[in-house]
Amino acid sequence: MKEEYSQPLRIVVIGANGGIGKQVVELALKEGHHVIAILRDRTKLMITHPNLKIAEGDLMKPESIEPFLETSNVVISAIGNSSLKKTTLYSQGNQNLIYAMEKAGAERVFFISASGIDVNPSHSFIIRLATKYILRKILKHMYADLERMECLVKRSPLNWTIVRPPRLTDEPVTGSYRVAINRFIENPMTISRADVAHYMIHHLLTKEIFRTTVELAY
- Enter the DSSP assignment of 58: B
Instruction: Provide CB contacts within 8 A for 9, sequence distance 6+.
Output: 33, 34, 73, 74, 204, 205
Q: Residue 81 has what pLDDT?
A: 83
pLDDT for the residue numbered 129: 75
Where are the chain's structural domains? 10-217
Tens of pLDDT, residues 18-50 = 999 999 999 999 999 999 999 999 999 999 999
pLDDT of residue 1: 63
At the top level of CATH, the class of 10-217 is alpha beta
Q: What are the C-alpha distances in Å from 203 to residues 7, 45, 197, 209?
A: 15, 24, 10, 8
Alpha helices per DSSP H over 39-192: 66-69, 89-104, 125-130, 136-138, 140-154
The series of mean pLDDT values per 10 residues for the chain, 218 residues long, is 83 96 98 97 94 96 94 95 86 96 97 87 78 75 94 97 97 97 94 98 97 98
Tabulate helix, strand, coil % of the chain (nearest 5): 40, 20, 40
Let me know: does 67 contact 5? Beta carbons within 8 Å. Answer: no
What is the C-alpha separation between 212 and 60, in angstroms, rounded? Answer: 25
Residue 178 CB coordination number (10 Å): 13
Task: With residue 179 as reference, give the H or E element that holds it.
Answer: strand 178-181
C-beta neighbour count of 101 within 10 angstroms:
26
Strands 34-39 and 178-181: unpaired
